[in-house]
Amino acid sequence: MTSAPSSLPPLTAVRVFEAAARHQSFTRAAGELGMTQAAVSYQIKVLEERVGQPLFLRAKGRVVLSDAGERLAGPVSRAFDDLRATFATVREEASGTLSISTVQTFATHWLVPRLGSFRAERPNLAVRLDTQPRLVDFAAEDVDVGIRSGTGPWPGLASHLLMRTTFTPMMAPSLIERLGRPDGPADLLRFPLIGVTDPWWLSWFRLAGVPEPTLSAQADVSLGSQQLEASAAMAGQGVAILTPGFFGEDLAAGRLVQPFDIVGDDGHSYWLVYPQARRHVPKIKAFRDWACRQARLAGVTG
């Protein structure tokens, strides 16, 4: 007794279709899969013969999905996402390492001081931080989660708000002793300002009622990160414009002084991001739940 033929088309053809549909290009699909463009075209033809209608429309050197291709693309893509996530979960059981991509300032002033509580919750999970100043490519790099600054959302990524990047001037007590305490926002213009070309300065002065501050006369000292600018401010070298959420301990200890309650907000925030398809991977889920809980404790809805 012979078995009934499988209703599923060849997996190779389906895999090629998923890549071609995602890229909207046979050439890019071939590059991703390590195949020739001719081999991609052949596999698409095999699949089209199996379903009995064209899946791509070919015109002027490019391809677009047909109506049938559009109907197949979504479910096929989700199926492959689930497969990738399942294999990632299996890999994680052997790996036991959570890789986090983040910027140096966020790592130093938000993440690392809190990381001990996460390690206490997951003592068997190693943590690796990557603080290179770049936008991580989850599809090409061995990174589990990232901390991204911006307004969100990002296609294909889940995102959770961790901290708003508000900003306000801060200075050292030694600078106040030397030059006196500023009487009002405009009085800050007689102080040396660190990173004076930073757009936050202009935004903050306008918010504080100084619509046309004369900043061009200031010698610019740009240090490239809030961490370095805060260090310069604590050394009494000038006034830095910083995010309060990063420097609460320095303010509480008196290493920095916030002379005014006026705080700017340009709409940017720090977000925890990771591929949607990996949302159920246990180590990512554990870190997401912990990070969002920390955000709520800090007064941010995660």
Tell me how far apart the alpha carbons of residues 213 and 188 are, in angstroms, rounded to a whole number.
10
Question: What is the helix (H) or strand (E) element at residue 233, kind and residue range?
Answer: helix 226-234
Q: Is 9 helix (H, G, I), strand (E, B) or coil?
A: coil
Radius of gyration of the chain (CA): 26
Tell me how far apart the alpha carbons of residues 285 and 291 are, in angstroms, rounded to a whole number.
10
Question: Who's near 134: CB < 8 A, 6+ residues apart?
Answer: none
Instruction: With a cut of 60, say whether residue 64 has pLDDT above it.
Output: yes
For 38-55, what is each residue's pLDDT tens digit? 999 999 999 999 999 999
Q: Is 169 helix (H, G, I), strand (E, B) or coil?
A: strand
Residue range(s) occupied by CATH 1.10.10.10 in the chain: 11-92
Instruction: With a cut of 80, say whether residue 59 has pLDDT above it.
Output: no
Helix locations, 96-193, DSSP H: 104-106, 112-121, 173-179
Residue 260's pLDDT is what? Answer: 96
For 76-133, what is each residue's pLDDT tens digit? 988 888 887 777 766 665 568 899 999 888 999 999 999 999 999 999 899 999 988 7
Which tokens in the block code for residue 41? 């075209």
Question: What is the dotted CATH code of the domain comprising 11-92?
Answer: 1.10.10.10
Block residue for tokens 């990381």: 115
Block residue for tokens 């109907």: 71
Which tokens in the block code for residue 243? 């995010």
Instruction: With a cut of 90, say whether residue 153 has pLDDT above it.
Output: no
Determine what percent of the chain is predicted with pLDDT higher than 70: 94
Residue range(s) occupied by CATH 3.40.190.290 in the chain: 96-302
Question: What is the dotted CATH code of the domain comprising 96-302?
Answer: 3.40.190.290
Residue 91's pLDDT is what? Answer: 65
- Cα separations in angstroms, 126 against 47, 112, 278: 44, 14, 18
Predicted confidence band at 147 (pLDDT cuts at 50, 70, 90)?
A: very high
Which contacts of 288-294 are long-range, i.e. CB under 8 A and separated by 24 or more positions? 288/145, 288/158, 288/160, 290/117, 290/118, 290/121, 291/160, 291/162, 292/160, 292/162, 294/114, 294/117, 294/162
pTM of the model: 0.66
Per-range mean pLDDT, top range of 26-30, 57-61, 270-274: 270-274
